[in-house]
Amino acid sequence: MHPTHLPLRAATGAYILNSGISKLGADDDTANFLHASAAGTYPALFRNMQPKKFAQLLAYSEMAVGAALLVPMVPATLAGVALTGFGASLVGMYFKTPSMTLDDGIRPSHEGMALAKDIWLVGAGLTLVGQGILGAPEPKKKTRRKRRR
């Protein structure tokens, strides 16, 4: 892991890992809410899944993304792809749920504020992918000048 990735990966990884861990023991109401939100946005994927199974899948998926970001051996490109996909699914939910945006379809309503902020996950993921592909900036090395006598 390049040292410049450390703050980004630690902050997002810890946040997402904690979110996944908190969903592990989701009660029926929470599982139903999470499932309904996902099934409403991505019906082809989740409509026929049981809410409790969906909550478990979501929890383990979030934990996997969080761990990928925190483990230094995971390449930036792979961690970035996982983060971008996760963030894009949340942003997709934001844009596909009419109550999340104001009449213009872009700016968040009060209900949409929590998901609208997840655009930062997409930006962070794309940064890791880009730096993983193009190479992270190398620190400048100091060069010694020969002293003339």
pTM of the predicted protein model = 0.81
β-bridge partners, 108: 101
Query: Is residue 80 situated within a structural domain?
Result: yes
Q: How many domains does the chain have?
A: 1
Query: Is residue 29 situated within a structural domain?
Result: yes
DSSP state of 108: B
Query: Is residue 119 situated within a structural domain?
Result: yes
CB 108 within 8 A of CB 116: yes
Query: Is residue 141 situated within a structural domain?
Result: no
CB 35 within 8 A of CB 55: yes
Query: Is residue 144 situated within a structural domain?
Result: no
Nearest to 62 by CA among 40, 36, 34: 34
Range of the domain at 128: 3-134
> How confident is the model over 84-142, as pLDDT tens digits?
999 999 998 888 888 888 988 889 898 888 888 889 999 999 999 998 898 855 666 66
Q: Which amino acid is at 12?
A: T
